[in-house]
A and B are shown apart, each in its own frame.
Chain A
Amino acid sequence: KNQVEQSPQSLIILEGKNCTLQCNYTVSPFSNLRWYKQDTGRGPVSLTIMTFSENTKSNGRYTATLDADTKQSSLHITASQLSDSASYICVVSASSGGGADGLTFGKGTHLIIQP
C-alpha cells in the first residue's frame, strides 16, 4: 500500500531560524514528489515538484531535496518568517497516474514561527 510519512508532526521555531521537515514514502511506481504549503483554513499551494532525476529544487527560501534511492525527501526553510507558519504537506504521485492511489498525501507538518 502506498504511504507517505512526515515528521515531525509539529514544530515550533523562532523567527529567523532555519528548519527542516522530513518526508518518507513508499509509493510505487514513483512519478514525482510535491511539497505544498497550507495556511490554516486555506487551500494548499504548491511549493515544489520534483521528478526522479531531480535531487534538489528551490523556491525562494524553500529548498526541497529528494533521494529516490532511500525514498526520502526534505523541505528546508531558511531564515523563517512569521508568514511561514502553516502546514507543509508532502504528496507523492505514482506513475501509474490514475485511480484513487494516484496521489498519496502525508498528514503534514504543522509549523509555528514565534516572534
Chain B
Amino acid sequence: DSGVTQTPKHLITATGQRVTLRCSPRSGDLSVYWYQQSLDQGLQFLIQYYNGEERAKGNILERFSAQQFPDLHSELNLSSLELGDSALYFCASSAQGTFTGELFFGEGSRLTVL
C-alpha cells in the first residue's frame, strides 16, 4: 500500500459528460502529480501541484483541469469527454516539489467513455 488513495476505482460514463477524479496523497506529501495511461501506452504526465499551487504542466488537454485543496487532496476534472479519454488515470505524491524525489503512485481510476 503506497498510502496514496484514489477514488473512484472504476467509472463508466458517456461522451460529452464530465467526471471528477479524486486523489489523497500520502500523509505529509505536498506534491501531487496526475498521469494518464491509455491502453498499452506509457504514462503521460498531465499536471503537478505543490502545496496548493500549480507547479508543472504536461500534455493536459484544455478540457481537463485540476486543483489541489488546502487539505492537500487533489481533484482532476475531465469534461466534454470523448472516447479517446478512456484510460487509467494515476495520481502520485511526493514530499518534494521537484521531480527528483521518490514518487508513490495510487492504484488508479479506470475511466471508460462509451
Q: Footprint of B on A, CB under 8 Å? A: 31-32, 34, 36, 41-46, 49, 89, 93-95, 97-100, 102-103, 105-108
Contact = CB atoms under 8 A, between A and B. Distances in A.
B98 A107 contact: no
A93 B90 CA distance: 18
13 contacts: A31-B99, A41-B108, A41-B110, A43-B2, A43-B4, A43-B90, A43-B92, A44-B90, A89-B42, A93-B99, A98-B97, A100-B45, A100-B56
Interface in B92-108: 92, 97-100, 102-108
Nearest to A107: B42
Given A43-B4, A98-B56, A98-B97, 12 more contacts: A41-B88, A41-B108, A41-B110, A44-B43, A44-B90, A45-B2, A89-B42, A97-B99, A100-B56, A100-B58, A105-B42, A107-B42
Contacts of B104: 46
Contact of A93 (B41, B100, B107, B108): B100
Contacts of B56: 98-100, 102
A99 B57 CA distance: 7
Contacts of A102: 56, 98-100
Interface in B54-71: 55-59
Interface in B22-71: 41-43, 45, 55-59
Contact of B98 (A34, A89, A98): A98
Given A43-B2, A98-B56, A106 B42 contact: yes
